[in-house]
Amino acid sequence: MITRAIRVARVGSAAELAAAALMILGFPVLMLAALVPSVPAFAAAAAVTYLADHYLHRKSSYLINRLSKVRAGLSIRFLIRQLLLILLLARLDLADGIVFYGAVACFIAFYGLQAPHGALVTLIRNRRRMPVATRNVDLAARIRIPDAPPRRLLNRSAEKMLHLDLFAVIGVLVSAFMDDTLAAFVGIGATIALGTLYVVALMPYVRGSKIPPNAEKVLAAVDDWLAGYRPETVLYFSGSKDSAYQVNMWLETMEQLDSKPLIILRERAILNNLAPTTVPVICVPGGVHLMNMDLSTVRVALYAANVGKNIHLLRVPTMKHVFIGHGDSDKLASVNPFSKVYDEVWTAGRAGRDRYAIADVGVRDDDIVEVGRPQLAPIQTWQGVPEGRIPTVLYAPTWEGWDGNPGNTSLVLAGENIVKKLIKADPPVRVLYKPHPFTGTVSKEAGAAHARITALVEKAAAERATDARFTADAAAQAQAKAELTRIEARIAQLAGNGGEKGDEAEATRDGLVDVAKHEEIARLRAEWNDTYWRSFGTHEHRVITGAEPRLYDCFNVSDAMVSDISSVVSDFIASGKPYAVTDSAELGVEEFKRQNTAVRAATILSNSAAELGELLSAVRDLAGDPLAEDRKELKQYLLGPDEPTSIEQFNTAVADLARKADTRNVGQESRAAAGAAEATTTA
């Protein structure tokens, strides 16, 4: 019941749900205490509402946003509490006393301070919002960007300002309870004085040297930097804050380009969610600002998503435009008719080319280039189960999706059957269970299935720990765990405290990556991954959630995988390892393979998982694997050849297209020069 309430209220935990309930119920109790009247009861209820409100704000609770939509926002809640305090004084027959009039005057004056406070905070934030925000672009040498105001002034500023009424509330309550006028006016004085000081402290940051340069100067500085850097290849991206992964997957590829790279983003939310990179990044929210930016040296523009804002760069004729997408699958998004606006469409392998031919959406075959998938480089090719180790099978189901289609995930109908058979397999195997991070967000059945599967794996792991057949080097594991702690501490030290980042202007000024530090963090993450797998036995079942270890790391320590229709399967094919896909919608083997290219070399599982033995046999007997050749052919069809490497293919494609852009531009210049000469001769 509590779980359901948490889901309905869209809060993150039982504690958050309890705080929300206490805050909402606290106000009727406040009214009752004021009417009775009872100063102790009022004080207790007020304390509960203050603390609950503060806790929910600190947790950035969804409920807080919802309350503002029904006219019960932050300011209203504080005002109601203050009005109820005035009611309490009246019910205590203090309406004719100086404390009553002092409290009324205090709260009116205090609310009078809210307007300049809110205006100053808004003005500071607006003036420090850059027309162009950057990372790895040295603007500090070109324009002066002052330090951001202290975080204590702007972070959750409205909440902080309103909570200053606490001094007056406490003083008035003490005065009412003890009949001590001094306590009331000490509290009233503290509230008004602190509120005034807060407003005064903000004033210096709206004028003079405390504000960043205007848009014209910032844009001129960016153009000056572009003229010196001379970017050649641009990765352009626009999307919602949840789509940042679509550009993040291309960062490493951009870092490995032979030409000078630049990343152009259109939304600040994407910039805030961008992974660390050494590539220069420019975020240009305004379309006019982008169209006026000097990108004359750029020859190739890469697009990771089909969105409306692409038109702002597509209009530039001096560069060639390429759709590279953010994944390679049989989904309709992979053959979007919008793709025909680009000069070329790059796919991983032949499969992408064939999809466009079958879809017949206007993309010409001559405009398609196969470049492989550079992101899959970390996935290691399988050489069989290492000597002395039992096989590891990864179960990586996708989530339930938004439409309730039973074929989306195997969790509900097949998940427990799959895990039970893997746990009971003879000869034994190790099970790694890595669910999709969205699992259970839409379907309570999927969430419940995930909980049961987690319990199954953890119970089996506990039983295996007491099984004499499975032993581990306890000393080596303890050493690995200690090493993990050291690595994590060093990474945290290098990365710094993310919570202390400055505002957009300060981040633009100071956002130059320390390449040595960036490379050390990358090395430490690789070291962490290796150490993580050594910190427990190679026979130990494991539930793996969270960002680390990454999915590709799980691929590399596994000998086979069971999954659902998703990009996970397409990526796993790069390893060449046996894999199984569950036909949860029960289409039948032939129809399932016909509809989904990526399963043509897979063991197809029914919801009973009865066919799982075929997958385990292929893992144990490399020579007798009946689908080995099919997997090789499918890998090349989907992802292209292993040689040359994907990044080499990608760089070649960039260079070829850059030459086409140069040829086009030279031709245009020649025609323009010829036209000018002809006009001169005629004159």
Residue 674 domain-assigned (yes or no): no
Which segments of the chain have a pLDDT < 70? 1-13, 329-333, 497-502, 682-683
Sign of CA dihedral 134, 140, 146, 149: positive
SS3 209: helix
- 323 with 275, same domain? yes
The token duo for 596 is: 């989904």
| Sign of the torsion formed by the C-alpha atoms of 350, 247, 309 and 134 | negative
CB 261 within 8 A of CB 623: no
Provide the pairing of β-strand 300-303 with 344-347: unpaired
Burial of 242 (0-12, 13-18, 19+ CB in 10 A): exposed
What is the pLDDT of the chain when averaged over all its residues? Answer: 89
Is 565 within 8 Å of 585 (Cβ atoms)?
no
Beta-bridged to residue 392, according to DSSP, are: 430
Q: From CA 311, how far away is CA 315, in angstroms rounded?
A: 6
- Is residue 79 assigned to a domain? yes
Kindly state whether residues 385 and 309 are assigned to the same domain.
Answer: no
Radius of gyration of the chain (CA): 31
Asked if residue 191 and residue 92 are part of one domain, the reply reads yes
Residue 280 in domain: yes
In angstroms, the first-to-last Cα distance of the chain is 89
Write down which residue in 535, 556, 581 finishes a domain: 535
Tally the domains of the chain. Answer: 4
Domain check: are 43 and 153 in the same one? yes
The structure tokens 């929210």 sit at 285
Residue 16, φ and ψ in degrees, nearest 5: -65, -40
Cα distance between residue 278 and residue 300, in whole Å: 19
Do residues 637 and 499 share a domain?
no
Residue 274 pLDDT: 92
The reported pLDDT for the residue numbered 574 is: 94
Residue 604, Ramachandran bin (φ over 0: left; ψ between -120 and 50: alpha; else beta): beta
The one-letter amino acid at 290:
L
| Residue 137 located in a structural domain | no
CATH code for the domain of 325:
3.40.50.11820
Burial of 380 (0-12, 13-18, 19+ CB in 10 A): middle
Neighbours of 538 (CB within 10 A): 15
How far is the CA of 15 from the CAs of 5, 59, 67, in angstroms?
A: 12, 10, 18
Any domain includes 649: no
Residues 368 and 405 in one domain: no
With respect to residue 509, please indicate whether it lies within any of the assigned structural domains.
Answer: yes
DSSP string, 474-527: HHHHHHHHHHHHHHHHHHHHHH--GGG---HHHHHHH----HHHHHHHHHHHHH
DSSP, res 10: T
CATH code for position 394: 3.40.50.2000
Same domain, 418 and 370: no
Q: Is the pTM of this model over 0.85?
A: no
Assess whether 572 and 545 both reside in one domain: yes
Domain end (from 535, 554, 582) = 535
Assess whether 309 and 277 both reside in one domain: yes
Q: Are 212 and 203 in contact (CB under 8 A)?
A: no
Residue 423 lies in a domain: yes
**Does residue 567 sit within a domain?**
yes
pLDDT at site 633: 94
Residues 563, 574 within the same domain: yes
| Enclosing domain of residue 50 | 2-131+142-210
User: What is the pLDDT, as a whole number, of residue 48?
Assistant: 93
- Given 509, 535, 561, the domain boundary residue is 535
**Same domain membership, residue 529 and residue 390:** no
234 and 205 fall within a common domain: no
Q: At what angle do helices 515-534 and 474-495 cross, to 10 degrees?
A: 160
| Number of Cβ within a 10 Å radius of residue 469 | 8
